[in-house]
Chain A
Amino acid sequence: MARRAILATAAVVGLILPLAATASGQEYLIGVATRILILALAGLSLNLILGYGGMVSFGHAAFFGVGAYAVAILAYHDTMGEPVLTWPIELAGTQSAFVAWPAAMLISALFALVVGAISLRTGGLYFIMITLAFAQMLFFFFVGLETYGGDDGLSLWARSSAGPLDLGDPATFYYLTLGLVALVLGFKARLVAARFGLALQGIRDNEQRMRALGFATLRYKLAAFVLAGAVAGLAGALMANHSEFVSPALLSWQRSGEMLVIVILGGMGTVYGPVAGAIVFFTLEELLSQWTTHWMIVLGPLLVLVVLYAKRGLWGLVEDASRARPLPGKEERRGEPAS
């Protein structure tokens, strides 16, 4: 069972990584791993709509960026001692993770609701271009927002406060991120095998048939879109904390493209794929950029080759290997949460 073995290994490596990195004097690895986990989280949220819902969103970085900015702006106002809003209600800034992070998820979800309500009415090519355009719109919104640094971005004084946890400690922040990724993984595994998840996969496979069966498909697509937006917002909140800095680059269209790459590379419509994709993508980036500053010239064509010849993605290959000896007459679909 290649699948089990890889999952177990990944869990062990994930848990002992900070200890090993500290022991070997390579603490910077903890930061690298945290960054990978955060982008894996963003990839997980995109995979929900892309892999399970068939919605090719080319603007997912927008929700990621909005989440990051939400945390940064709340923290900025807290530091300055100025309220975020004075009208219609007075709203003070905060550095508390327990307030700011859920707020980031909520605001990202609201943006996703608006963008989704407009763009999901269309489909195919239009959907791709519209999601891209809305992300670009938010990008320029933040570029123009001089109060919060505009093009230059905004620095945070410190990471969010989280009760007894010191998020400024790299290992603590790493374990918190790892825990959140595990939580989202678990929730997603349940979700895609629940009624909602099956409905979503039905829409991906054949939306016309779903409507003819009696599903108000737009409602389910929008719900998935909003949910994905919220999780992307959480990833953004983590990223703002991780780098203690936000800038419009977080919402850039290259970032959206990167998220698509992570999901495809890992394997669309598989629960663990985006995590595998993020690990491989950023390890590759790290290795190639050590070798040459012009590493994109290798990565670009590599991406073309993956699309042309390895569409199932890495986790897809793992699953194929695990599926090579299925029980007679009984595929693994029943019982086990779809992987």
Chain B
Amino acid sequence: MLIVEQVLNGLQLGVMLFLLAAGLTLVLGIMNLINLAHGSLYMIGAFVAASVAGWTGSFVLGLLAALPAAALVGMAIEVVALRRLYARDHLDQVLATFGLILFFNELVSIVWGPRALFLDTPRWLSGAVEILPGLPYPAYRLAVLAVGLAVAVFLAWLVRRTRLGMLIRAGATNREMVAALGVNIRLLYTLVFGLGAMLAGLAGVMAGPIYAVEVGMGEHILILTFVVIVIGGIGSIRGALAGALLVGLVDTLGRAFLPTLFGAAMGPAAASGVGASLASMAIYIVMAAVLALRPRGLFPVHG
């Protein structure tokens, strides 16, 4: 019973990571840009949703405000700063977007103050669903899972079946060709960036009722997202999904079971400390193992 619940928890963390990783890996794969400030967009989504939901009492209104807000902020930083970094090396991108993180963290703490906010679960999702006889599971978390999977399907459709997706794929391999087709590549990039930002904002909103909405919330999850992308392979949506679910499961199950496992094997409380330490390191060990076998990730993109 416990294991079913923990697997679901793991998958739910996985889809949240996927929402972040999808946008990040698109930007990495297409624009060849590493954007540390992606986590800031997640934070902004969560804060906007928490405030609007606080004023209006409606989670849905909060969500509806947060998505365009994250997308707009994302497009704004693309136009103002990141656009100038596409042709630069990764080091420049790391530093400049590191600067953006400092800026956004401070901005959020000026606007919203230093204390954490709370985003309540919408009432119609606050109950539990009995997924197996005798095993209730929070409806909200199931909804998160459903939304994440729906987004995965939507992205697969977008990239494979639409004109925009065709341009995205073509743009990744041949910038000049797409430009020659008369497509405004600058606008295309801004739109892709906005899309990624909106997904990050969505992840932030969904995280709101589960984790605390606070300054710096985007950074820990950003690094987890990097692990996801490294495992999946840069630029691959499929890899992002596989990596996200793997990381979500390993992290959640590791934290749930490793301490007790070590406690059972080694006995005393010190062992459960080792277990807890190992559990928080588990995903990095998985990452190292994947890299040792496949240095370019599970689903390497050609080129």
**Whether chain A touches chain B in the assembled complex (some CB pair under 8 Å):** yes
Known: A56-B94, A128-B90, A300-B101. A294 touches B230 (CB 8 A): no
Known: A141-B280, A300-B103. A132 touches B223 (CB 8 A): yes
The prevalent SS among residues of A at the interface is helix
Q: Is A52 an interface residue (CB 8 A)?
A: no
Known: A304-B81, A304-B96. A124 touches B103 (CB 8 A): no
Name the residue on B nearest A123 (C-beta): B295
Name the A residues within 8 Å of B99 (CB-CB): 299-304, 307
Name the A residues within 8 Å of B295 (CB-CB): 121-122, 126
Whole-angstrom distance from the CB of B32 to the nearest CB of chain A? 8
Query: Which of A144, A260, A304, A306 has the most chain B CB atoms inside 10 A of its CB?
Result: A304
Q: Is A264 an interface residue (CB 8 A)?
A: yes
Which residues of B80-113 are within 8 A (CB) of A?
Answer: 81, 84-85, 88, 90-92, 94-96, 98-107, 109-110
Report whether B102 and A296 are in contact in the complex, using a CB–CB cutoff of 8 Å: yes
Report whether A144 and B28 are in contact in the complex, using a CB–CB cutoff of 8 Å: no
Report whether B281 and A260 are in contact in the complex, using a CB–CB cutoff of 8 Å: no
Query: Within the complex, which residue of B105, B277, B291 is in contact with A145, where a contact is CB–CB below 8 Å?
Result: B277
Q: How many A-B residue pairs have CB under 8 A?
A: 130
Which residues of B173-229 are within 8 A (CB) of A?
Answer: 219, 223, 226-227, 229
Which residues of A87-130 are within 8 A (CB) of B?
Answer: 118-119, 121-122, 124-126, 128-130
Which residues of A218-256 are within 8 A (CB) of B?
Answer: 253-254
Which residues of B224-269 are within 8 A (CB) of A?
Answer: 226-227, 229-230, 234
Q: Is B292 an interface residue (CB 8 A)?
A: yes
Query: Within the complex, which residue of B85, B281, B291 is in contact with A121, where a contact is CB–CB below 8 Å?
Result: B291
Report whether B98 and A257 are in contact in the complex, using a CB–CB cutoff of 8 Å: yes
Query: Within the complex, which residue of B85, B90, B109, B287 is in contact with A294, where a contact is CB–CB below 8 Å?
Result: B109
Q: Is A175 an interface residue (CB 8 A)?
A: no
Report whether A122 and B296 are in contact in the complex, using a CB–CB cutoff of 8 Å: yes
Q: Is A182 an interface residue (CB 8 A)?
A: no
Report whether A300 and B100 are in contact in the complex, using a CB–CB cutoff of 8 Å: yes
Report whether B226 and A132 are in contact in the complex, using a CB–CB cutoff of 8 Å: yes
Report whether B223 and A260 are in contact in the complex, using a CB–CB cutoff of 8 Å: no
Q: Is A13 an interface residue (CB 8 A)?
A: no
Q: Is A314 an interface residue (CB 8 A)?
A: no
Which residues of B147-163 are within 8 A (CB) of A?
Answer: none
Q: Is B137 an interface residue (CB 8 A)?
A: no
Name the A residues within 8 Å of B223 (CB-CB): 132-133, 136, 253
Whole-angstrom distance from the CB of A273 to the nearest CB of chain B? 14
Q: Is B34 an interface residue (CB 8 A)?
A: yes
What's the Cα separation between A321 and B225 when bound, in Å? Answer: 43
Binary flags per residue of A251-292, CB closer than 8 Å to B gives 1, else 0 = 001100100110010000000000000000000000000000
Known: A118-B288, A126-B296, A307-B96. A146 touches B273 (CB 8 A): yes
Binary flags per residue of B265-295, CB closer than 8 Å to A gives 1, else 0 = 0000010010011011100110110011001
Name the B residues within 8 Å of A253 (CB-CB): 219, 223
Report whether A124 and B90 are in contact in the complex, using a CB–CB cutoff of 8 Å: yes
Q: Is A85 an interface residue (CB 8 A)?
A: no
Known: A121-B291, A144-B273, A144-B277. A129 touches B110 (CB 8 A): no
Whole-angstrom distance from the CB of B15 to the nearest CB of chain A? 21
Q: Is A143 an interface residue (CB 8 A)?
A: yes
Whole-angstrom distance from the CB of B303 to the nearest CB of chain A? 12
Name the B residues within 8 Å of A134 (CB-CB): 284, 288
Whole-angstrom distance from the CB of A5 to the nearest CB of chain B? 29
What's the Cα separation between A137 and B287 when bound, in Å? Answer: 11
Report whether B103 and A296 are in contact in the complex, using a CB–CB cutoff of 8 Å: yes
Known: A122-B291, A122-B295. A300 touches B102 (CB 8 A): yes
A-B contact pairs, 6 of them (CB 8 A): A122-B291, A140-B277, A141-B280, A145-B277, A257-B98, A308-B81
Instruction: Give 4 new A-B contacts, CB below 8 A, not counting A125-B34, A126-B230, A299-B102.
Output: A50-B91, A134-B284, A144-B273, A294-B106
